[in-house]
Chain A
Amino acid sequence: SAVISQKPSRDICQRGTSLTIQCQVDSQVTMMFWYRQQPGQSLTLIATANQGSEATYESGFVIDKFPISRPNLTFSTLTVSNMSPEDSSIYLCSVEVGRRPSYNEQFFGPGTRLTVL
């Protein structure tokens, strides 16, 4: 398994500002992901955070809005840029433990609850 922490746990931000969310894992992992969970809804994958290269974004998400860093195998950041109230969500970091091509469990951090006013 993996223990994942996120900072901050929650924040209230003004529109037009940016927030950087940190994700720290207690062990080295190859695969790290960022998800968004809007109020009362399911999880949507934003991007895969690749170590040493640019993140891979899903349809509907772009680097200018959600820049991601992955400087090493235990840490990643997600920035929510130029925020609007529509960005109010829970942002979740997850990691995949194990080695592909076998399927491996995916563990989630506690999430960052963002409210944009």
Chain B
Amino acid sequence: GESVGLHLPTLSVQEGDNSIINCAYSNSASDYFIWYKQESGKGPQFIIDIRSNMDKRQGQRVTVLLNKTVKHLSLQIAATQPGDSAVYFCAASDSGTYKYIFGTGTRLKVLA
């Protein structure tokens, strides 16, 4: 069945360094992807999205890269701050179902 998986369950990063969170998806029909941030006790918060006709999209301090050939996307956070500590999820959808399949999540820990 479809799956969206993350390579690392926990990522520890020094404050000020860049963070890279990876995600693999299995459905080749997936053509829309979202990264969410979930802080403790809160619902997921939309960070950035990318459509399959793009391979890179930038936001404020965040960049998402999409490699459709290997069905992989990543979230890069520049100059990681303590407030970035959270669990990050990727989600994939396709125009056939419009349903979102969520990855297992990566916990980002920012070390002072």
Could you say which of A103, A108, A109, A110 contacts B93, with CB atoms under 8 Å apart? A103
A54, CB-defined interface residue at 8 Å: no
Query: 1/0 per residue B72-110: CB within 8 Å of A?
Result: 000000000000000001010101001110111100000
State the Cβ distance, A22 to closest chain B Cβ, in Å: 15
A117, CB-defined interface residue at 8 Å: no
* A-B interface pairs (CB < 8 A), number: 46
- The complex places the Cα of A100 from the Cα of B98 at a distance, in Å, of 9
Could you say which of A41, A43, A94, A111 contacts B42, with CB atoms under 8 Å apart? A111
Nearest A-chain residue to B43, judged by Cβ: A108
Could you say which of B34, B42, B91, B104 contacts A110, with CB atoms under 8 Å apart? B42
A92, CB-defined interface residue at 8 Å: yes
Answer whether A107 and B46 are a contact pair too, CB < 8 Å, given A42-B89, A42-B104. yes
Specify which chain A residues have a CB less than 8 angstroms from the CB of B41 in the assembled complex.
Answer: 110-111, 113
- The complex places the Cα of A106 from the Cα of B92 at a distance, in Å, of 12
Interface size on A, residues (CB 8 A): 19
- The complex places the Cα of A41 from the Cα of B41 at a distance, in Å, of 14
Specify which chain A residues have a CB less than 8 angstroms from the CB of B103 in the assembled complex.
Answer: 42
- The complex places the Cα of A49 from the Cα of B32 at a distance, in Å, of 22
Nearest B-chain residue to A105, judged by Cβ: B46
Nearest A-chain residue to B42, judged by Cβ: A110
Could you say which of B32, B43, B45, B102 contacts A103, with CB atoms under 8 Å apart? B32
- The complex places the Cα of A95 from the Cα of B35 at a distance, in Å, of 16
Query: 1/0 per residue A82-94: CB within 8 Å of B?
Result: 0000000000101
State the Cβ distance, A114 to closest chain B Cβ, in Å: 14
Contacts A43-B44, A111-B42 known; 19 new A-B pairs at CB < 8 A = A4-B43, A41-B104, A41-B105, A43-B89, A43-B91, A43-B102, A92-B43, A101-B95, A103-B49, A103-B95, A105-B34, A105-B46, A106-B34, A106-B91, A108-B36, A108-B44, A110-B41, A110-B43, A113-B41
Interface of B with A (CB < 8 Å)? 32, 34, 36, 41-46, 49, 51, 89, 91, 93, 95, 98-100, 102-105
Interface of A with B (CB < 8 Å)? 4, 41-45, 92, 94, 100-101, 103, 105-111, 113
